[in-house]
Amino acid sequence: MTTMAGNAVMRAALVAFALSSLAAVLCDEGVCDAASDSSLCPAETPKAAEKPSENGANEHPGGSGGGDGGSSSCGCGSLKRERPDKPSDESSSDDDEESSIEVEDADSEDSGQSGTEHPRTNQMVFVRGGEFEMGTDKPVFVADGENPARPVRVNDFYIDVHEVSNAEFERFVNDTAYKTEAETFGDSFVLDSAISEEVKKGITQAVAAAPWWLPVKGADWRHPEGPGSHIRDRMDHPVVHVSWNDAVIFCKWSGKRLLTEAEWEYACRAGLKDRLFPWGNNWTPRGETRANIWEGQFPVINTAEDGYRGTAPVTSFPATKFGLKNIIGNVWEWTNDWWVTRHTKEPKDNPK
């Protein structure tokens, strides 16, 4: 991995059904708190390019990535949130739009320069920092706190090409004997439709505002849907049931850190302005699926038109102009900073 002067960081995530995984980044100015925030909540079509998966509901560091169930951002906070229609392409072409921001490949397996004892095994890309418009003046869900649009500048950084896989998280656990918080507490939340009827028999509670999330005893990163499920056939899928604390500890083990929400959004936008997705305004350019989301009637029927009823392998789907995969959809991701809903138009420099 080619490094710059500074500490490494990573892209991480959490939530019940598809808790996110972690990604890596390198800032060029020492410790610049970073984190990642991606994925799409199962209840809605991707929103504006700034955060298709949107922020979580709880006031906790990293809430931008989904928090404990990602309540308010994905339709989880209200049973009556309108699902926005999938937008049509506003341009006359299905081609991907070009980005003007510099991006370079950086192979993290070149551990000699990484400054970490446990280098990430997946590839990273270098993103040239700059100024962009964070948030939006046209929020789909006002309660998510994405407005107003405001000028933000971020420094250069490296970011992992994809989420942290089960295989990679297993390396960490095998090396440290670490126990995740879901394992310690003995349960975690799982999407109703992913739970077996046998497991459901023992469940007597649900999230009041989001009854499709059920507390399942024994659900953890090795057993995504609880007893009877296992990751052995999903080692290339993103690790889930990972808390913010779990993500931070994994990052430290890797010699990296979480992305800030601003860094994540800058990377997610891939250099484009006023676009709905990291590749433009067309959800399926040239008829090509670009992300794994819930399709159909949530939370009852998932038609899986994208090929997946649950999580997808971390390398699925074409990369963005920045070389990133699954930057929206698949799972929610943690960010390092606190989730807030009140913003001003005042310019910000590397907000944390």
221 phi-psi bin (left φ>0, alpha ψ -120 to 50, beta other): alpha
Question: Rounded distance, CA 161 to CA 37, Å?
Answer: 14
**Residues 6 or more apart in contact with residue 177 via CB below 8 angstroms:** none
pLDDT at 99: 59
In a domain, 9, yes or no: yes
Amino acid 1: pLDDT: 29
In a domain, 29, yes or no: yes
Note whether residue 140 is domain-resident: yes
Give yes or no for a contact between 336 and 257, defined as CB atoms under 8 angstroms apart: yes
- What would the mean pLDDT of 156-167 be, rounded to a whole number? 95
Whichever domain contains 299, its CATH number is 3.90.1580.10
* Sign of the torsion angle spanned by Cα atoms 82, 76, 277, 305: negative
The Cα-based distances of 50 to 14, 38, 69, 259, 270 in angstroms read: 19, 10, 20, 15, 10
Query: Which residue range(s) make up the domain with 116?
Result: 1-182+235-346
Identify the pLDDT of residue 255: 87
Within-domain flag for 352: no
Q: Identify whether 27 is part of a domain.
A: yes
218 belongs to a structural domain: no
Q: Per DSSP, what are the bridge partners of residue 24?
A: 10
pLDDT at res. 37: 35
Note the pLDDT of residue 258: 95
Task: Please report whether residue 216 resides in a domain.
Answer: no
Tally helices (H) and strands (E) across the chain. 5, 12
- Looking at the 3D structure of the chain, how many domains does it have? 1
pLDDT at 98: 63
Give pLDDT, residue 231. 98
pLDDT digits (tens, 9 = 90+) for 253-305: 998 999 999 999 999 999 999 899 999 999 999 999 999 999 999 999 999 99
Percent of all residues in the chain with a pLDDT value above 70, rounded to a whole number: 65
Q: What is the pLDDT of residues 197-247, one digit of tens each?
A: 999 999 999 999 999 999 999 999 999 999 999 999 999 999 999 999 999
Q: What is the pLDDT of residue 82?
A: 52
170 assigned to some structural domain? yes
